């Protein structure tokens, strides 16, 4: 994929806005033809244009020195979704997206490693520790691009919208989300409590340390 | 006991053993049941510990007898060694001559310690397995140890590679990548080396992999044969020499016809446990793991050849017989536990058998030659099954406890981890008893349709485990394999995840998950008396061993480092607020973080000089 | 006023439009439907007769009492318990009601037993597991040899003359299964297993529709039921059991690669390929189906393009997401899907 966001979601992908418009494939083809139409080429060079041509050729070397002059130093990690993505606010704390994310969480086997937030093969998601950052953008980056210690990349297995919905759900597991956005029903079977009933303070073990030698 | 001693006397190879017999014959005479390890698979004591199971018969018995019931309480720390790794340490230290070798969990370092210099590290081998393999290891990133043979050390890495390294120098001799992590395959088991073959199987029964056991040439690492646990007969290496005892295992391509179409390709049956080898019959014995997914409704049929034990010819890999402990497994009852090769009286005749504490809770006594089950008695609390029908070999399932899609079935005993998981038991020829560290837990299970996506989990179950009847989660049982009944039991608060060690001084050792290392009176009369215990820095889930040091003294070594399926709540800091975490194990272990901490240290004990 | 009255009269006629064709109540193409239809007819006749009798009595009473006493005081002499004829009529009427009700009860009982007989031992039984999802049907055919089992979606085939035992499950919410031509309704309830037996008697194509409101696309949750002769059915079974053939044309191969490496294979399965996911419909024999998206669109090249390019435009709210394929990818994927015959 040349750019990570080539397939980024325009608002048209949202079901509510898009309902009933149909015939998407026709439009899609049109869009493709539009992109094929290149701008007309410059008129052929004449007379003393050779000097200009030489200049132009020299310009070709410029890109090897290209750099981002005003940018901040970028993080070393390859997985990166820029901060301040407008989708962050759109998805986080949205009841529909959290519920959808909860569904994808089971469908795409996230729950096979992270279970219902407590972790197993993968790290827990309901605690307050984030190995790779806990903002929506970081979570989406973890989902889409994977992480080196075992998190697979889902870039080509789910859509970006699903990744954002998953992030909304994941975020809702640990943070203090809006209670009215949470699902009052756990999607999984009755072995877990619905999110609205989960306590959200720090983990305290139930029993204190004690030697176990006395049983004998 | 006298009779046993006389019989043993005729075999010169066990002459040393005779001395022990005469010394203890009188007090034990009334109890000995006549069981003894298969002679060819259990060489005489040489003070070494070259493989995790001690010998091909998997006795985990050290004939050394300096440490006895009366002096074990004087055990003192000889030295320690920190592996610098804080994941679950399941491996057994390997002792060869003056050297000890330790394998660690991922990143699977191998440490060589010089015992003549107080355990100083001589070299370390770093295989650099792929980091992504951590994400597909179902139950912590464990490794169960190396094996020494012919000057080389053989071990596996989590990302599916087998290494042979020179035991002296620590230089690599060969390596062979036989597992594919993109399919979800990892390797955690300890290889078994016999007859010039390195036997290794894959892990990943929770990831929709297809299980296999591979034999590599010990000299070159090249693949000699590979036997799959599912699929057509030619993949499973089933040929004319395959003669299973029970009718339900006979037929063409059962590895295909007992599955829904295509399901066998992702059907599990991984081989991640223990292999025993009988040099006399030239047969290996090993168990196959659970079928995938856990949700049994997705895979109608008997799901051959998962959750059973195979006997194969070591040279060709051709199957000889197969016995399926859990046809159409409902509860993730991997059948990978150890098989202890014994010769013992059955109906008055000495018979070559293998004794295996099954994960489903039955202690199987199976004929090594034919696969006939002589007895299968429960050694723990079971309510999801109702005994084994010896005529058909099939276990009787309790219908009410079978998981159903969309429901939660409560109080299923035992759990998915079984009455006993991978942690091996030990057999003492002196007492004739098998010492079984195991669990006493139950679970609620709800199953649902699992979605197969390559390289991701393929389970389809929400599980919640908790202590079984009595409230204790672990049991250490001394089992009489001949009379098929327990002799004594020790109740433990936490499930036992460590192996057992039996010694010639009639002391058995095991560790608990909160870091107690215990010495128990092995005798039947002792009733499981605790002789000595010491609290170590972290929980113990490894396999204790005993060896004769360069100074001639007997040592007992154990590695701490809690982890594994049951200990991941500590080593991976899982969150106990989610009862289903770590396949439901976290719910049963929620007190563990308050009782121990991550670790990874070798402790070696000896009597004072 | 008159016009409105006329249009009101037309309404029942409109309802009659539902009768006949591939989805009709009172269809007699299945043994069970015929039995129920017979019972229904019997009920209609019996209750119709009684209704007519009640009406007759009502009118008789009306005529008899009509406009006698001008002062509207009770007419003591008119009610005559001593009237022998009336007494006999009363007894006869009571007996007729009791007899009628008993008759209907017996008829219901016999029909019920007859329905149960469909699955009695010895009769050939087709075993199908039907699972309701928002908003599509998954059908799994089960055989004694599980390696013959296969899955399909939004369609079932049944042979004539054999009882088909259909077990019903739901994955998300309550749905209801109803092929009016073949049998009565049965609900699909999450966490429970229900069942229904169909014994089709007439070759044909019928339509089932989710009959319990189940969300946004409830209306687009149809099931295509084909009743074949046993020979045709066996042919269909044999075809369904085969895994998908490998694609041959370059375009289909490109589509195959896309399918296996991209979002498609995270939800859909194609037997014989690495795609084994189960949350979306099994596509192994997609092109043998008449419709896609649970009866939303007819099957074919154009509708497949439309559906894959923009599922949310065709069926808003469905779980099939907008992937954002470019035109080449779209053509390739459709070319591959068209090989799944």
β-strands B161-166, C163-170: how paired?
A: unpaired
Q: What is the pLDDT of residue B421?
A: 94
When pLDDT is averaged across residues B459-476 and rounded to a whole number, the result is: 94
Q: Which residue has the tokens 């997609």?
A: C286
- CA-nearest residue to C279 within chain A is A107
Q: What is the pLDDT of residue B405?
A: 85
Q: What is the pLDDT of residues B220-241, one digit of tens each?
A: 999 999 999 999 999 999 999 9
In degrees, to the nearest 5, what angle opens at C-alpha C17 toward C-alphas C14 and C22? 155
- State the CB neighbour count (10 A cutoff) for residue A149: 16
Q: Is the separation of the CB atoms in A91 and A167 below 8 Å?
A: yes
Best mutation site among A4, A8, A15 for testing chain C: the one with the most C CBs within 10 Å? A15
Q: Is the pLDDT of residue C55 over 90?
A: yes
When pLDDT is averaged across residues B183-199 and rounded to a whole number, the result is: 95
Best mutation site among A11, A25, A27, A165 for testing chain C: the one with the most C CBs within 10 Å? A25
- CA-nearest residue to B517 within chain A is A213
Task: Supply the residues of B annotated as catalytic.
Answer: 206, 290, 332
Kind plus residue range of the DSSP H or E element containing C61: helix C31-65
Q: What is the pLDDT of residue A190?
A: 61
3-state secondary structure of B343: strand
Domain extent for B330: 31-606
- Tell me whether residues B594 and A205 touch, CB distance under 8 A: yes
Q: What residues have CB less than 8 Å from B419, skipping those under 6 apart?
A: B357, B358, B359, B360, B361, B378, B379, B380, B381, B382, B438, B439, B440
- DSSP bridge partners of B79: B604
Contacts 24+ apart (CB under 8 A), C95-99: C96/C50, C96/C53, C97/C50
Residues of A in contact with C316 (CB under 8 A): 15-16, 18-20
Q: What is the pLDDT of residues C56-86, one digit of tens each?
A: 988 887 777 655 566 666 666 555 555 677 7
Please tell me which residue, A23 or A59, carries the higher pLDDT value.
A59
Sheet holding B223-228, edge to edge: B192-194, B197-201, B212-217, B223-228
* B15 located within any domain: no
Q: Is the separation of the CB atoms in C181 and C208 below 8 Å?
A: no
Q: What is the pLDDT of residue C163?
A: 87
- Tell me whether residues B135 and A152 touch, CB distance under 8 A: yes
When pLDDT is averaged across residues B173-187 and rounded to a whole number, the result is: 94
Cα separation, A127 vs A125, whole angstroms? 6
Residues of B in contact with A107 (CB under 8 A): 451
Rounded alpha-carbon distances, angstroms, from residue A26 to C322, C326, C327:
15, 12, 10
Q: What is the pLDDT of residues A117-143, one digit of tens each?
A: 999 999 999 888 888 888 899 999 999
Q: Residue A66 is encoded by which pair of tokens?
A: 């290209």
Cα separation, B587 vs A26, whole angstroms? 54
Best mutation site among B260, B408, B456, B457 for testing chain C: the one with the most C CBs within 10 Å? B260
Asked if the C-beta of C274 comes within 8 angstroms of chain B's C-beta atoms, the answer is yes
Q: What is the pLDDT of residues B17-73, one digit of tens each?
A: 444 444 444 444 446 889 999 999 999 999 999 999 999 999 999 999 999 999 999
Q: Where are the alpha helices (DSSP H) in B191-245?
A: 233-236
Asked if the C-beta of C261 comes within 8 angstroms of chain B's C-beta atoms, the answer is no
Q: Is the separation of the CB atoms in B144 and B186 below 8 Å?
A: no
How much is the mean pLDDT over chain C? 87
Q: What is the pLDDT of residue A73?
A: 42
Q: What residues have CB less than 8 Å from A65, skipping those under 6 apart?
A: none
Q: Is the pLDDT of residue B498 over 70?
A: yes
Q: Is the pLDDT of residue B413 over 90?
A: yes
* B250 located within any domain: yes
Residues of B in contact with C148 (CB under 8 A): 261
Cα separation, A169 vs A178, whole angstroms? 12
Q: What residues have CB less than 8 Å from C160, skipping those under 6 apart?
A: C200, C201, C202, C203, C227, C228, C229, C230
Cα separation, B58 vs B194, whole angstroms? 13
β-strands B61-62, B152-157: how paired?
A: unpaired
Q: Max alpha carbon distance in chain A (Å)?
A: 104
Rounded alpha-carbon distances, angstroms, from residue B102 to B84, B88, B93, B108, B518:
12, 13, 5, 10, 21
pLDDT above 90: percentage of residues in chain A = 26
- Tell me whether residues B575 and A124 touch, CB distance under 8 A: yes
Q: What is the pLDDT of residue A84?
A: 82
Q: How close A22 gets to chain B, by Cα (Å)?
A: 30
When pLDDT is averaged across residues C114-122 and rounded to a whole number, the result is: 68
Q: Is the pTM of this model over 0.80?
A: yes
Best mutation site among C144, C276, C277, C281 for testing chain B: the one with the most B CBs within 10 Å? C276
Asked if the C-beta of A192 comes within 8 angstroms of chain B's C-beta atoms, the answer is yes
Cα separation, C80 vs C91, whole angstroms? 15
When pLDDT is averaged across residues A149-177 and rounded to a whole number, the result is: 90
Q: Is the pLDDT of residue C87 over 90?
A: no
When pLDDT is averaged across residues C5-32 and rounded to a whole number, the result is: 69
Residues of C in contact with A32 (CB under 8 A): 326-327
Going by pLDDT thresholds of 50, 70 and 90, the confidence category of residue C122 is low
- CA-nearest residue to C146 within chain B is B260
* B306 located within any domain: yes
Closest CA to A4 of A92, A78, A65, A108: A78
Q: Is the pLDDT of residue A106 over 60?
A: yes
Q: Is the pLDDT of residue C13 over 70?
A: no
Closest CA to B421 of B536, B326, B541: B541
Q: Is the pLDDT of residue A3 over 60?
A: no
* B9 located within any domain: no
Residues of C in contact with A7 (CB under 8 A): 323-324
Which range has the worst mean pLDDT, B185-189, C97-101, C159-163?
A: C159-163
When pLDDT is averaged across residues A181-198 and rounded to a whole number, the result is: 70
Residues of C in contact with A16 (CB under 8 A): 316
Cα separation, B552 vs A80, whole angstroms? 60
Q: What is the pLDDT of residues C242-295, one digit of tens each?
A: 999 999 999 999 999 999 999 999 999 999 999 989 899 999 999 999 999 999
Q: How close A107 gets to chain C, by Cα (Å)?
A: 7
Q: What is the pLDDT of residue A195?
A: 73
Q: Is the pLDDT of residue B77 over 80?
A: yes
Cα separation, A15 vs A34, whole angstroms? 25
Kind plus residue range of the DSSP H or E element containing C140: strand C136-142
- CA-nearest residue to C171 within chain B is B406
3-state secondary structure of A25: helix
Residues of B in contact with A152 (CB under 8 A): 132, 135, 455-456
* B19 located within any domain: no
- SS3 readout for C225-255: EEEECHHHHHHHHHHHHCCCCCCCCHHHHHH
Going by pLDDT thresholds of 50, 70 and 90, the confidence category of residue C7 is low
Please tell me which residue, B58 or A198, carries the higher pLDDT value.
B58
Q: What is the pLDDT of residues B501-512, one digit of tens each?
A: 999 999 999 999
Q: What is the pLDDT of residue C5?
A: 58
When pLDDT is averaged across residues B308-331 and rounded to a whole number, the result is: 96
How much is the mean pLDDT over chain A? 70
Size of interface A-C (CB pairs under 8 A): 74
Q: What is the pLDDT of residue B8?
A: 44
Going by pLDDT thresholds of 50, 70 and 90, the confidence category of residue B406 is confident
- Tell me whether residues A7 and C316 touch, CB distance under 8 A: no
When pLDDT is averaged across residues C46-58 and rounded to a whole number, the result is: 91
Residues of C in contact with A25 (CB under 8 A): 305-306, 308-310, 330
Tell the burial category of A196 from Cβ atoms under 10 Å away from its Cβ (0-12, 13-18, 19+). Answer: middle
* All domains of chain A in start order, with CATH: 88-191 (1.10.760.10)
Q: What is the pLDDT of residue C16?
A: 56
Best mutation site among B476, B539, B577 for testing chain A: the one with the most A CBs within 10 Å? B577
Number of independent structural domains in chain B: 1
- Tell me whether residues A20 and C310 touch, CB distance under 8 A: no
Asked if the C-beta of C48 comes within 8 angstroms of chain B's C-beta atoms, the answer is no
> What angle in degrees, to the nearest 10, is found between the helix axes of C250-261 and C327-337?
100
Going by pLDDT thresholds of 50, 70 and 90, the confidence category of residue A40 is very low
Asked if the C-beta of A128 comes within 8 angstroms of chain B's C-beta atoms, the answer is no
Cα separation, B360 vs B307, whole angstroms? 10
Q: Max alpha carbon distance in chain B (Å)?
A: 66
* All domains of chain C in start order, with CATH: 23-53+97-232 (2.60.40.420), 250-337 (2.60.40.420)
- CA-nearest residue to A108 within chain C is C266
Within 13 A of A56's CA, how many CA atoms are on the CB side? 7
**Torsion sign (Cα): B125, B128, B129, B131:** positive
When pLDDT is averaged across residues A20-48 and rounded to a whole number, the result is: 44
Could you say which of A22, A158, A162 has the minimum Cβ distance to residue C314? Answer: A22
- State the CB neighbour count (10 A cutoff) for residue A73: 6
Report the CATH number that the domain containing residue B569 is assigned in CATH: 2.140.10.10
Please tell me which residue, C330 or A4, carries the higher pLDDT value.
C330
Q: What is the pLDDT of residue B210?
A: 95
Q: What is the pLDDT of residue C109?
A: 94
Within 13 A of B293's CA, how many CA atoms are on the CB side? 27
Q: What is the pLDDT of residue A66?
A: 61
pLDDT above 90: percentage of residues in chain B = 91
Closest CA to C261 of B266, A79, B264, B453: B453
Which chains, if any, share at least 3 CB pairs under 8 A with chain C? A, B
Residues belonging to chain A with any Cβ–Cβ distance to chain C shorter than 8 Å: 7, 9, 13-16, 18-25, 28-29, 32, 107-108, 156-159, 161-162
Q: How close B511 gets to chain C, by Cα (Å)?
A: 42
Kind plus residue range of the DSSP H or E element containing A172: helix A160-174
- Tell me whether residues A25 and C279 touch, CB distance under 8 A: no
Closest CA to B127 of B98, B101, B103: B103
* B314 located within any domain: yes
Going by pLDDT thresholds of 50, 70 and 90, the confidence category of residue C52 is very high
Residues of A in contact with B574 (CB under 8 A): 118-120, 124
Q: How close A41 gets to chain B, by Cα (Å)?
A: 47
């Amino acid at each position: 994929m040349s750019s990570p966001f080539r397939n980024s979601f325009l608002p048209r992908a949202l079901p509510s806005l898009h309902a009933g418009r149909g015939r998407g494939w026709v439009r899609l083809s049109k869009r493709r033809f539009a992109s094929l139409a290149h701008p007309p080429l410059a008129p052929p060079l004449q007379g003393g244009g050779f000097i200009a041509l030489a200049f132009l050729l020299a310009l070709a070397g410029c890109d090897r020195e290209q750099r981002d002059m005003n940018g901040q130093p970028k993080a070393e990690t390859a997985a990166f979704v820029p901060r301040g993505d407008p989708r962050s606010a759109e998805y986080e704390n949205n009841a529909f997206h959290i519920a959808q994310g909860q569904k994808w969480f089971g469908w795409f086997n996230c729950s096979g490693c992270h279970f219902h937030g407590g972790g197993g093969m993968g790290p827990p998601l309901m605690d307050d520790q984030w190995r790779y950052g806990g903002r929506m953008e970081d979570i989406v980056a973890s989902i889409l691009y994977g992480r080196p210690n075992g998190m697979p990349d889902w870039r080509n297995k789910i859509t970006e919208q699903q990744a954002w919905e998953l992030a909304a759900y994941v975020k809702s597991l640990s943070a203090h989300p809006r209670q009215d956005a949470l699902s009052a029903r756990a999607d999984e079977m009755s072995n877990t409590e619905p999110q609205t009933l989960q306590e959200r303070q720090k983990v305290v073990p139930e029993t204190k340390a004690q030697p176990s030698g006395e049983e004998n | 006991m006298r009779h046993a001693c006389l019989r043993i006397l005729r075999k010169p190879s066990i002459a040393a053993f005779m001395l022990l017999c005469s010394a203890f014959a009188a007090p034990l005479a009334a109890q000995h049941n006549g069981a003894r390890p298969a002679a060819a698979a259990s060489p005489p004591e040489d003070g070494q510990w070259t493989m995790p199971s001690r010998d091909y018969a998997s006795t985990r018995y050290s004939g050394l007898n300096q440490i006895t019931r009366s002096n074990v309480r004087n055990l003192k720390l000889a030295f320690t060694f920190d592996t610098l790794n804080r994941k679950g340490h399941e491996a057994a230290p390997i002792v060869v001559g003056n050297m000890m070798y330790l394998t660690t969990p991922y990143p699977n370092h191998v440490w060589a310690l010089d015992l003549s210099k107080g355990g100083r590290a001589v070299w370390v081998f770093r295989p650099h397995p792929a980091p992504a393999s951590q994400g597909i290891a179902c139950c912590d990133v464990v490794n169960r140890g190396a094996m020494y043979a012919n000057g080389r050390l053989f071990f596996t890495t989590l990302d599916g590679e087998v290494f042979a390294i020179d035991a002296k120098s620590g230089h690599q001799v060969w390596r062979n990548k036989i597992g594919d992590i993109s399919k979800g395959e990892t390797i955690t088991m300890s290889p078994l080396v016999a007859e010039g073959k390195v036997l290794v199987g894959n892990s990943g029964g929770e990831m929709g992999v297809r299980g296999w056991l591979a034999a590599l040439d010990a000299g070159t690492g090249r693949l000699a044969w590979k036997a799959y646990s599912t699929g057509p007969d030619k993949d499973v290496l089933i040929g004319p020499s395959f003669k299973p005892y029970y009718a339900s295992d006979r037929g063409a391509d059962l590895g295909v016809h007992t599955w829904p179409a295509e399901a066998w390709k992702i059907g599990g049956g991984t081989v991640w446990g223990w292999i025993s080898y009988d040099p006399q019959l030239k047969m290996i014995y090993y168990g196959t793991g659970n079928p995938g997914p856990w949700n049994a409704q997705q895979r109608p049929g008997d799901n051959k050849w998962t959750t059973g034990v195979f006997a194969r010819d070591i040279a060709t890999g051709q199957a000889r017989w197969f016995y399926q402990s859990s046809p159409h497994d409902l509860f993730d009852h991997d059948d990978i536990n150890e098989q202890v090769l014994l010769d013992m009286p059955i109906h008055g005749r000495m018979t070559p058998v293998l004794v295996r504490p099954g994960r489903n809770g039955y202690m199987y006594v199976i004929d090594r030659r034919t696969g006939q089950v002589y007895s299968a008695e429960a050694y723990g609390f079971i309510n999801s099954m109702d005994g084994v029908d010896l005529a058909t070999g099939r276990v009787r399932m309790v219908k009410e406890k079978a998981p159903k899609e969309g429901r939660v079935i409560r109080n299923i005993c035992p759990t998915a981890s079984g009455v006993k998981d991978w942690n091996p038991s030990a057999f003492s020829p002196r007492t004739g008893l098998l010492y079984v560290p195991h669990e006493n837990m139950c679970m609620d299970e709800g199953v649902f349709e699992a979605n197969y996506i390559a390289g991701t989990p393929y389970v389809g179950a929400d599980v919640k485990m908790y202590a079984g009847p009595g409230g204790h989660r672990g049991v250490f049982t001394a089992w009489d394999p001949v009379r098929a009944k327990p002799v004594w039991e020790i109740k433990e608060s936490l499930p036992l995840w460590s192996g057992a060690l039996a010694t010639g001084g009639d002391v058995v050792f095991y560790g608990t998950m909160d870091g107690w290392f215990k010495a128990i009176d092995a005798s039947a009369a002792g009733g499981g008396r605790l002789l000595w215990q010491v609290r170590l820095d972290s929980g113990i889930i490894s396999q204790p061993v005993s060896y004769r040091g360069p100074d001639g003294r007997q040592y007992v070594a154990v590695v701490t480092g809690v982890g594994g399926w049951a200990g991941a709540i500590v080593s991976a800091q899982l969150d106990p607020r989610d009862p289903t975490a770590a396949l439901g194990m976290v719910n049963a272990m929620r007190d563990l973080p308050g009782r121990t901490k991550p670790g990874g240290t070798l402790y070696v004990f000896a009597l004072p000089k | 006023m008159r016009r409105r009255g006329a249009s009101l009269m037309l309404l029942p006629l409109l309802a009659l439009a539902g009768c006949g064709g591939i989805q009709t109540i009172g269809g007699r193409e299945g043994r069970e439907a015929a039995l129920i239809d017979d019972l229904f007819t019997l009920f209609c006749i019996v209750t119709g007769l009684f209704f007519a009798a009640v009406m007759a009595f009502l009118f008789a009473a009306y005529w008899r009492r009509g406009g006698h006493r001008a002062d509207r005081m009770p007419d003591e002499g008119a009610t005559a318990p001593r009237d022998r004829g009336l007494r006999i009529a009363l007894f006869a009427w009571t007996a007729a009601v009791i007899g009628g009700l008993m008759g209907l009860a017996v008829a219901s009982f016999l029909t019920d037993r007859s329905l149960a007989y469909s699955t009695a031992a010895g009769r050939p039984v087709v075993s199908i597991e039907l699972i309701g999802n928002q908003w599509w049907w998954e059908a799994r055919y089960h055989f004694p040899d599980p390696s013959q089992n296969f899955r399909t979606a939004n369609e079932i085939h049944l042979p004539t003359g054999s009882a088909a035992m259909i077990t019903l499950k739901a994955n998300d919410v309550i749905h209801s299964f109803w092929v009016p031509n073949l049998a009565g309704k049965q609900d699909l309830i999450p966490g429970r297993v229900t069942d229904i037996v169909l014994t089709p008697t007439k070759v044909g194509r019928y339509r089932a529709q989710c009959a319990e409101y189940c969300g946004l696309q409830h209306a687009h949750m149809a099931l295509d039921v084909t009743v074949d002769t046993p020979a045709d059915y066996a042919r269909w079974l044999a075809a369904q059991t085969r895994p998908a053939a490998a694609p041959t044309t370059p375009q289909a191969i490109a589509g195959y690669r896309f399918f296996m490496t991209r979002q498609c294979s995270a939800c859909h399965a194609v037997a014989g390929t690495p795609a084994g996911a189960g949350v979306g419909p099994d596509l192994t024999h997609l092109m043998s189906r008449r419709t896609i998206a649970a009866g939303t669109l007819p099957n074919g090249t154009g509708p497949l393009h439309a559906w894959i390019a923009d599922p949310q435009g065709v069926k808003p709210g469905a779980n099939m997401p907008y992937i954002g394929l470019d035109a080449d990818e779209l053509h390739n994927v459709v070319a591959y899907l068209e090989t799944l015959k």
